[in-house]
Amino acid sequence: MLKTAAYAAASAQSPLAPHSIERREPGPNEVLIDILYCGVCHSDIHQARDEWGGSIFPMVPGHEIVGRIAQVGAQVGKFQVGDAVGVGCFVDSCRECPQCRDGLQQYCDQGMTGTYNSRERAGGAPTFGGYSTRITVDQDYVLRIPASIPLDRAAPLLCAGITTYSPLKHYGVKAGDRVAVVGLGGLGHMAVKLAAAMGANVTVLSTSESKRDAALALGAQDFAATRDPAVFKTLARSFDFIIDSVSGEHDYNAYLSLLKVDGTMVLLGIPETPAPVAAGLLISKRRRLAGSMIGGIAETQEMLDFCAEHGIASDIELIDIAGINEAYERMIKGDVRYRFVIDIASLERAA
């Protein structure tokens, strides 16, 4: 076993602090990755504070991992030492159910094995994430980072990037489609970039007028501040597709009214309180209300290659690991544009 420096939450009430974990030597089909950067996802906060229930402590969060291969197992053929690679939200799945066979591991019938706050399928040991200096992962759950994407800005693509790319691709968003993005945070800013790169006409819908210039700079063609109720009348039946990236409570029905006939609205956030949906809004225009969760390994690699082709990367604020607790508080306040990324070299210096 390999002693590994990390940052962990000892309990739901504890701030993250230095911790030591053990990583296994890579097996025949595994690679050992020296972690360089790890993105900070809002779900890290939910799980570290046990807001979703069932959290496993001590917990080392982090599922937006980028690094370089340090060691490969004897049967590894996909990667070699020195390759730039990434690990996203999961590190294993059953591999046998229809979804796994179709490359939809995120919807595994037995449940995907999360990169952290989960249990390994063999032995049941808890998984630990990317707020650490290295990780051992089966080669089939590792992504190749294209050379043209800066490694620190690539990290959030492994969650925020694929979470927004997958529904855009699944529902066939194409050039000329009118797409609305609800919310301009870590997810929303990636949705704007990706939809614009697909040739869509993008409008950002936000409660904050102050985000107008940022939305347009990211590639949106238009912006609407939704605190004004007149906006919903002005934009009624305007959009082919809506990506809703907001996790706070809001009125789905107001946004459904903005869809054209056969329009689709996809939910990415999970508000704490279930929201009522008016059947008449769906029935009257054959609208769809759907959900989507990250993406499978093949689709995530496709997304990374698409980003490389179109010069897309996440907009980030690079932080030292010592600033992670402050970063959590700033995220809760929405005070980040648009994703914190931890420089893991700072953890090595602190170890």
Q: What's the pLDDT tens digit per position in 296-340? A: 999 999 999 999 999 999 999 999 999 999 999 999 999 999 999
Number of neighbouring beta carbons within 10 Å of residue 336? 17
Residue type, position 148, single letter: S
Contacts of 268 (CB under 8 A, 6+ apart): 163, 164, 167, 187, 243, 244, 245, 291, 292
Instruction: Tell me which residue has tokens 């504890």.
Output: 14
Structure tokens at 229: 């109720």
At 43 the pLDDT is 94
Which parts of the chain register pLDDT below 50? Answer: none
* Residues comprising the chain, all counted: 351
Identify whether the C-beta of residue 84 lies closer than 8 Å to the C-beta of residue 149: no
Contacts of 58 (CB under 8 A, 6+ apart): 8, 9, 10, 19
At 351 the pLDDT is 65
Number of neighbouring beta carbons within 10 Å of residue 245? 23
Structural domain boundaries in the chain: 2-159+313-350, 161-291
Q: Read off φ and ψ for residue 201, nearest 5 degrees.
A: -90, 110
- Assign domain 161-291 to a CATH class: alpha beta
Task: Give the residue from 263, 296, 38 showing the smallest Cα distance to 172.
Answer: 263
Identify whether the C-beta of residue 317 lies closer than 8 Å to the C-beta of residue 167: no
pTM of model > 0.85? yes
Q: Which fold has domain 2-159+313-350?
A: Quinone Oxidoreductase; Chain A, domain 1 (3.90.180)
- Distance from C-alpha of 132 to C-alpha of 10, rounded to nearest angstrom: 15
